[in-house]
Amino acid sequence: MEICDRYGRTIVDIRVSITQHCNLNCIYCHHEGYHERSNSVKRAEMTAEEIQRLVSVSRRVGIKRVKITGGEPLLRHDVFEIISKLSKLKGINEVSLVTNGVLLDQDTCDRLKYEGLKRINISLDTLDSQTYFDVTRKNMLTKVLDGITHAQNSGLNPIKINTVLLKGINDTRIREFIEFAKKTGVILQLIELMTFDENNDTFFNRYHVDPSPIEEVLEGIAKHIEVRQMQQRKRYHLNDGTVIEIVRPMHNSAFCANCKRLRVTSDGHLKPCLMREDNLIDIITPIRRNVSDEEIYQLLLQAIALREPFFKE
Ligand code: SAM
């Protein structure tokens, strides 16, 4: 059954962080809006069974799709088991994953596909190796580019490339990305840089790019523009078949009004909004006490009741 929050939004997606660990150190990372308060957070990851239980009950509130994230989800030794368990749940139509792509060798991609992964997003903010190092502090560009090829070979299509727009780093090189998308057939997803406190964020103020001029250019060259239900994201279809999606979360009331997502932190807290850390609900303690499905369901309802658009009209 679909359940609406107080703002009439149904909840269809759940975004589950399965670890806080990462093998890159991106200069802009928002850590899925969850900042470690102590080392214990790193140790307290939900197990595959706990994630399965939570997602299983979440079907009762209308969840149909699961996105696995992190940290870097492929660092979890049991990531295949997690995907296998979730993709077998009746009523879950899609299990997808967002990764930095560093660990995507051919065997990994084949196994992800085999266990039931439907789609993959691969983060890539630059096609230049020095800039890649400057952004991530690791020399891994070749591995990521190979990872994209491996994912395609495994049939993990469509592949989306997540590119965070960063002033002076990649904002003048959008054409190169479009060429890359055309050549490889990936969907290019350009994401506006986010912050949780723009007044006190010098990094944000230095690197934030307003996507409007890019959208204007795309409007001029697109043969068709689609507005997706999810967060009113615009998808531009070019004549040559290239697809570019723009994600504009900042000060975008339409984005929030169409958010259908609940989040779960790696240590088992329900998170009603990416932008807030003050209204989390501990779900892992009850799950570890082996409470009934009904109690887990009630906690999911509580989290949904706390949902509120961060940016409003
Ligand atoms: N390690 C994985 C990866 O790199 O894709 C998954 C975790 S990462 C936090 C998930 C996505 O969030 C990535 O595509 C990343 O580019 C995006 N992201 C991280 N920080 C962001 C920010 N400040 N603004 C916008 N997007 C951000």
Hey, what are 91's tokens? 């009523």
Average pLDDT of span 35-48 = 69
pLDDT at residue number 37: 53
| C-alpha to C-alpha distance for 236 and 225, rounded to whole angstroms | 5
Whether the per-residue pLDDT at 313 is higher than 90: the answer is no
pLDDT given for residue 258 in this prediction? 93
**pLDDT beyond 50 at 214:** yes
- What beta strand segments (E) does 192-297 contain? 222-227, 234-238, 243-247, 261-264, 269-271, 281-282
The SS3 of residue 292 is coil
**Where does the pLDDT of residue 198 fall: very low under 50, low under 70, confident under 90, or very high at 90 and above?**
confident
Ligand 1 near 276 CB (within 6 A)? no
Q: What span, in angstroms and rounded, lies between the C-alpha atoms of 277 and 272?
A: 9
Half-sphere exposure in the Cβ direction for 208 (13 Å, CA): 18
- For residue 51, the CA-to-ligand 1 centroid distance in Å is 21
**pLDDT of 113-146, one tens digit each?**
999 999 999 999 999 999 999 999 999 999 999 9
The mean pLDDT of 218-226, rounded to a whole number, is: 95
Determine if ligand 1 sits within 6 Å of the CB of residue 98. yes
Indicate if ligand 1 lies below 6 Å from the C-beta of 74: no
The C-alpha atoms of residue 48 and residue 18 are separated, in whole angstroms, by 9
pLDDT digits (tens, 9 = 90+) for 264-276: 999 999 999 999 9
Judge if the beta carbon of residue 140 lies within 6 A of ligand 1. Answer: no
Residue 269 forms beta bridges with which residues? 282
- How large a percentage of the chain has pLDDT more than 90? 91
How close is the Cα of 205 to the center of ligand 1, in Å?
A: 18
Identify the residue whose C-alpha is closest to ligand 1 atom 13: 123
3-state SS of the chain: helix, strand, coil percent to 5? Answer: 40, 20, 45
Domains of the chain: 13-305 (3.20.20.70)
Q: How far is CA 284 from CA 87, 268, 290, in A?
A: 21, 5, 10
Ligand 1 mean position, distance from CA 164 (Å): 8
pLDDT of residue 41: 47
Q: What's the CA-to-centroid distance between 290 and ligand 1, angstroms? A: 33
Cα 165 to Cα 5, 102, 115, 193, distances in angstroms: 31, 20, 33, 6
Q: Once rounded to an integer, what is the mean pLDDT over residues 58-70?
A: 98
Task: Specify the ligand 1 atom closest to the Cα of 70.
Answer: 7
pLDDT at 187 over 80: yes
Q: What is the residue-averaged pLDDT of the chain? A: 95
CB 189 near ligand 1, within 6 Å: no
Q: Identify the pLDDT of residue 36.
A: 62
d(CA 160, ligand 1 centre) in Å: 13
Beta carbon of 99 within 6 Å of any ligand 1 atom: yes
Query: What does the block give as tokens for 177?
Result: 């990305």
